[in-house]
Every structure is written in structure tokens, then in C-alpha cells.
Amino acid sequence: MVELSAEQLRARLTEAVQVYIAAMGYPPGTAQQRAPMWSAHMLRPGWRCIGAFNSRDELTAIGYGYLGGPGQWWHEQVRRGMLARFSPDHVAAWTNDYFELTELHVRPDCQGGGLGEAVLRRLLRGAPGQAVLLSTPEGPTRAWKLYRRLGFDDLLRDYRFTGDPRPFAVLGRRLPLEPEH
């Protein structure tokens, strides 16, 4: 498991997006939309990335994020959803200084052995921000179990992002994470 620079991730972007597509069960054409988005994310303040590799130097897991803030699509969507349900002070407490866990994916043939948690812990170790926020599709998944085990709380449930009909949950927790036991 290593921290990847933007240059290193760009060199393996096709492989990284393939991990994402396999983990999420998306169609192959998703790569054409995601690769440019991931490249743009690499330019954001506080961006950091962790990759896990097997003995054949194949990417088996990827996680990245950056400081979330005004003007970013995800930030604006989440802020709008939270303001519809909570006081401005509560929303500000979560959205004024946070690390957005943008992507965390483990190749399906490598899931279930703690790799996702290891990547997440390494990514959040020293991450900027007072909190970490993420969105994940609703439903009982390994990801849900991981986030609950690590103390993430519900900020929004059954939320619909613009352009996606699926229900999502927005979860958050204060940083830093507690050390592993």
C-alpha cells in the first residue's frame, strides 16, 4: 500500500477507474466520464490518494479525497440537502472544514479481507480537515459495515443527487480516526 502522487495516479488512471467500475458494478463506458473527473480532482487542495497493489503490481484498491468546499459540485449538493433538513449552524459545523472521501474501491476478488479499511485508515491518517464526509449508495454492503464500524454517522439518508435516481446516504465523522485495536 502506497501513497500515490497525482502523476503516479495519472499513469495508472485507466487501471484505477477499472477498479472503480468493477467494485461498483458499472458499465465499461463509465470510464469515459470518470477519468476526466478524477484528473480534475487531483488539482484540488488537500488531494491525497492511496493505492494497494498485489505481488504482480496490479492495483487492487484505490482511495482518494481532498478538502471539500464551496463551488464544488458534491459540496453544493450535500449542503443544499442538509439545509433542507437542518439548521445553518449544524450544516456549517459539518461543511466548513472537511475532507471529502471521494472514492474508496476494492477489486471484487480482493474484498472481504480488510483491504478497504486499511486503505481508508491510511488515507485519513493526516488528512486535512476537522471531519470526513462521504456518500455511498443506500443498501447493506461491505462499505456500509466498514463505515459503521469506524463510527460514521448519518448526515443525510435516501438523498438523490442531481442526475442520479439512486438513493444515497451522506455519512460523516470527526477526525482523527481512532487507532486500530
**Positions marked active-site:** 147
8-12: which pairs have CB atoms within 8 A and are 24 or more residues apart? 8/51, 9/38, 9/42, 9/49, 9/51, 9/64, 10/39, 10/42, 12/51, 12/59
Q: Are strands 168-174 and 131-137 parallel, antiparallel or unpaired?
A: antiparallel
CB atoms within 10 A of CB 174: 13
CB atoms within 10 A of CB 176: 12
Cell of 105: 474501491
CA 95 from chain centre, in angstroms, equals 15
**Strands ordered across the beta sheet of 153-159:** 2-4, 48-53, 59-67, 98-106, 131-137, 168-174, 153-159
